[in-house]
Amino acid sequence: MKKVLVLCTGNSCRSQIAEGYLKYFAGDKAIIYSAGIETHGVNPKAIDIMKWDGIDISAHTSNNINEYTGIDFDYVITVCDNAKESCPYFPSNAVMLHHNFPDPAKAIGTEEEILKRFMEVRDMIKDYSLSFVNMYL
Protein backbone atom coordinates (compact mmCIF):
# COMPACT_ATOMS: atom_id res chain seq x y z
CA MET A 1 0.00 0.00 0.00
CA LYS A 2 1.29 3.47 -0.91
CA LYS A 3 2.13 5.98 1.82
CA VAL A 4 1.47 9.65 1.15
CA LEU A 5 2.51 12.60 3.29
CA VAL A 6 0.98 16.06 2.84
CA LEU A 7 3.24 18.72 4.28
CA CYS A 8 2.43 22.35 5.09
CA THR A 9 3.72 25.04 7.42
CA GLY A 10 1.43 24.58 10.42
CA ASN A 11 -0.65 21.48 9.59
CA SER A 12 -3.80 23.44 10.36
CA CYS A 13 -5.66 24.14 7.09
CA ARG A 14 -4.30 23.18 3.67
CA SER A 15 -2.62 19.92 4.63
CA GLN A 16 -5.60 18.92 6.79
CA ILE A 17 -8.01 19.55 3.92
CA ALA A 18 -5.77 17.61 1.54
CA GLU A 19 -5.50 14.71 3.99
CA GLY A 20 -9.29 14.57 4.21
CA TYR A 21 -9.82 14.54 0.45
CA LEU A 22 -6.94 12.17 -0.28
CA LYS A 23 -8.30 9.68 2.24
CA TYR A 24 -11.75 10.00 0.70
CA PHE A 25 -10.61 9.64 -2.94
CA ALA A 26 -7.87 7.03 -2.35
CA GLY A 27 -9.95 4.72 -0.19
CA ASP A 28 -7.87 1.62 0.52
CA LYS A 29 -5.23 2.41 -2.12
CA ALA A 30 -3.04 4.44 0.24
CA ILE A 31 -2.32 5.49 3.80
CA ILE A 32 -2.48 9.28 4.04
CA TYR A 33 -0.62 11.37 6.60
CA SER A 34 -0.33 15.11 7.08
CA ALA A 35 2.18 17.14 9.01
CA GLY A 36 3.64 20.58 9.38
CA ILE A 37 7.10 21.95 9.89
CA GLU A 38 5.33 23.56 12.87
CA THR A 39 2.03 22.63 14.55
CA HIS A 40 -0.74 25.19 14.88
CA GLY A 41 -3.74 22.97 15.68
CA VAL A 42 -6.51 22.12 13.23
CA ASN A 43 -8.30 25.29 12.16
CA PRO A 44 -12.03 25.19 13.12
CA LYS A 45 -12.99 26.83 9.82
CA ALA A 46 -11.23 24.02 7.93
CA ILE A 47 -13.24 21.49 9.94
CA ASP A 48 -16.49 23.36 9.16
CA ILE A 49 -15.96 23.74 5.41
CA MET A 50 -14.98 20.09 5.06
CA LYS A 51 -18.05 19.02 7.00
CA TRP A 52 -20.17 21.06 4.58
CA ASP A 53 -18.70 18.90 1.79
CA GLY A 54 -19.42 15.67 3.68
CA ILE A 55 -15.93 14.96 5.03
CA ASP A 56 -15.28 14.93 8.77
CA ILE A 57 -11.76 16.00 9.77
CA SER A 58 -12.73 16.93 13.33
CA ALA A 59 -10.67 14.05 14.77
CA HIS A 60 -7.52 15.08 12.90
CA THR A 61 -4.55 16.25 14.93
CA SER A 62 -1.85 18.75 14.03
CA ASN A 63 1.38 16.77 13.71
CA ASN A 64 5.00 17.78 13.34
CA ILE A 65 7.05 16.34 10.49
CA ASN A 66 9.52 14.90 13.00
CA GLU A 67 6.86 12.42 14.11
CA TYR A 68 7.14 10.65 10.75
CA THR A 69 10.89 10.35 10.20
CA GLY A 70 10.77 6.54 10.32
CA ILE A 71 8.13 6.13 7.62
CA ASP A 72 9.21 5.32 4.06
CA PHE A 73 6.82 7.51 2.07
CA ASP A 74 6.06 6.89 -1.59
CA TYR A 75 4.91 10.49 -2.10
CA VAL A 76 5.49 13.73 -0.24
CA ILE A 77 3.24 16.58 -1.34
CA THR A 78 4.08 20.08 -0.13
CA VAL A 79 1.08 22.39 -0.30
CA CYS A 80 2.82 25.70 0.41
CA ASP A 81 6.10 27.28 -0.65
CA ASN A 82 7.33 27.62 2.93
CA ALA A 83 7.00 23.89 3.53
CA LYS A 84 8.72 23.10 0.23
CA GLU A 85 11.67 25.33 1.10
CA SER A 86 11.88 23.99 4.67
CA CYS A 87 11.09 20.35 3.91
CA PRO A 88 13.55 18.02 5.59
CA TYR A 89 15.40 15.39 3.62
CA PHE A 90 13.60 12.06 3.54
CA PRO A 91 15.96 9.09 3.24
CA SER A 92 13.66 7.30 0.83
CA ASN A 93 12.68 7.16 -2.78
CA ALA A 94 9.64 9.36 -2.16
CA VAL A 95 8.38 11.26 -5.16
CA MET A 96 8.31 14.91 -4.14
CA LEU A 97 5.37 16.93 -5.50
CA HIS A 98 4.51 20.56 -4.89
CA HIS A 99 1.50 22.81 -5.32
CA ASN A 100 1.36 26.17 -3.58
CA PHE A 101 -2.19 26.78 -2.38
CA PRO A 102 -3.17 30.15 -0.87
CA ASP A 103 -3.40 30.13 2.92
CA PRO A 104 -7.09 30.59 3.80
CA ALA A 105 -6.15 31.35 7.42
CA LYS A 106 -4.68 34.64 6.19
CA ALA A 107 -7.94 35.75 4.59
CA ILE A 108 -9.26 39.08 5.77
CA GLY A 109 -12.67 40.71 5.57
CA THR A 110 -16.08 39.86 6.88
CA GLU A 111 -16.82 36.41 8.25
CA GLU A 112 -18.65 35.67 5.01
CA GLU A 113 -15.65 36.76 2.90
CA ILE A 114 -13.27 34.68 4.99
CA LEU A 115 -15.47 31.57 4.71
CA LYS A 116 -15.74 32.15 0.95
CA ARG A 117 -11.93 32.14 0.71
CA PHE A 118 -11.75 28.94 2.77
CA MET A 119 -14.23 27.30 0.39
CA GLU A 120 -12.30 28.49 -2.69
CA VAL A 121 -9.07 27.00 -1.36
CA ARG A 122 -10.90 23.84 -0.28
CA ASP A 123 -12.20 23.39 -3.82
CA MET A 124 -8.71 23.90 -5.30
CA ILE A 125 -7.32 21.25 -2.95
CA LYS A 126 -10.22 18.92 -3.72
CA ASP A 127 -9.50 19.12 -7.46
CA TYR A 128 -5.77 18.59 -6.89
CA SER A 129 -6.42 15.62 -4.59
CA LEU A 130 -8.67 13.90 -7.09
CA SER A 131 -6.13 14.46 -9.86
CA PHE A 132 -3.32 13.10 -7.67
CA VAL A 133 -5.26 9.93 -6.86
CA ASN A 134 -6.17 9.38 -10.52
CA MET A 135 -2.61 9.96 -11.68
CA TYR A 136 -0.52 8.26 -9.00
CA LEU A 137 -2.70 5.75 -7.18
What is the crossing angle of helices 111-136 and 14-26, to 10°? 40
Question: One of 80, 83, 105, 133 is an active-site residue; which one?
Answer: 80
Question: One of 31, 38, 63, 87 is an active-site residue; which one?
Answer: 87
Any catalytic annotation for residue 13?
A: no
List of long-range contacts for 45-50, beta carbons under 8 Å, 24+ apart: 45/13, 45/104, 45/105, 45/114, 45/115, 45/118, 46/12, 46/13, 46/16, 46/17, 46/104, 46/118, 46/122, 48/115, 49/17, 49/115, 49/118, 49/119, 49/122, 50/16, 50/17, 50/20, 50/122
Question: One of 4, 5, 8, 125 is an active-site residue; which one?
Answer: 8
Q: Which residues are catalytic?
A: 8, 80, 87
